[in-house]
Amino acid sequence: MNKLLKLTALASLIFVAQSFAQDHSHHDMHKNQTANDHSNHTAMNAAEVSHSESVYQVDATWNTHKNSKLKLSELEGQPVIVSMIYGSCTTACPVLVHDVKRLYSKLDEDTKQQVKLVIVSFDTDRDTPEALADYVKQYQLNNDNWLFLNGSEQDIRTLATVLGVRYRQRPDGDFDHSNLITILDKQGLIVERIEGLSQPMEKPAKVVAKLVND
């Protein structure tokens, strides 16, 4: 116990020294902790991102749950709501998908026609297009606005980094990850980020509605 306390004290000292030595301006970001309550699933805070460069510069080819190929740049011209999950996740992920659904349901009928809802899986091995199609069916998301994407490990990590979604695979095969929903404008710029689970969707819905008319 003493040893642990000593460790804490020492470690704090290091961090104090460190925080004086570095610029913390870039840590000024969403710090939502509401998603950390899952005992077997750790939420990781999202990282900072560029808001001035299009996410569509990521030139990866994805497999959709409809078994077609897609480059994100093909989504240009409409607002996109994007989140990252993994299919075998039973804690935060269904909530994230439900959150995207809640956001979508707050849009007026006109706007609904003009947005895409994109869910990208962390799990390149297990979340095959077929598995993702099952997921879509299971959660009754079968409408043309939804796109569930499977990609290579390399491309998943690139996209996650660009979106500021942090994740890591644990030894048991599950993933720790940020709980983040990102709203992209028609050009693929990040305009709004919703971090944490079950967040209010009124403001994001307004953001999306405005993007449609921009």
Partner 1 sequence: MVKWLGVAGVLLSPLVLADPVLINGGTFKPPVLLDKERLSIEMESFMLDSTPVTNQEFLEFVIEQPQWQRDNIAALFHDGNYLKHWDNNTGFAKGKENEPVTYVSWFAAREYCSAQGGRLPSLNEWEYASVKYRQQQNISDDDYARNLFAWYSQPHSAKQQAVDPNADQLMHMHDRVNEWVDDYQLLLTNGDDVDLLSGSCGDGARFMSSFSNANYATFFRYQSRSDYAPQSATSTMGFRCAYDLENDHE
Residue pair 136/153 in contact by the 8 Å Cβ criterion: no
10 Å CB burial of residue 12 (0-12, 13-18, 19+) is: exposed
| Token duo for residue 58 | 């990521």
- What is the total count of residues that contact partner 1 (CB under 8 A)? 43
- Residue 111 contacts partner 1 per CB under 8 A: no
Residue 62 Cβ, how far from partner 1 at the closest point, in Å? 17
- Residue 151 contacts partner 1 per CB under 8 A: no
Interatomic CA distance for residues 7 and 174, integer angstroms: 30
Residue 173 Cβ, how far from partner 1 at the closest point, in Å? 14
10 Å CB burial of residue 57 (0-12, 13-18, 19+) is: exposed
Residue 11 Cβ, how far from partner 1 at the closest point, in Å? 5
Residue pair 141/120 in contact by the 8 Å Cβ criterion: no
Give whichever of 59 and 110 is closer to partner 1, judged by the CB atom: 59
- Residue 45 contacts partner 1 per CB under 8 A: yes
Where do contacts with partner 1 occur on this chain (CB under 8 A)? 7-8, 10-12, 14-15, 18-19, 22, 26-27, 29, 31, 33, 36, 42-48, 50, 53-55, 57-59, 154, 157-158, 161-162, 164, 166-168, 170-171, 176, 178
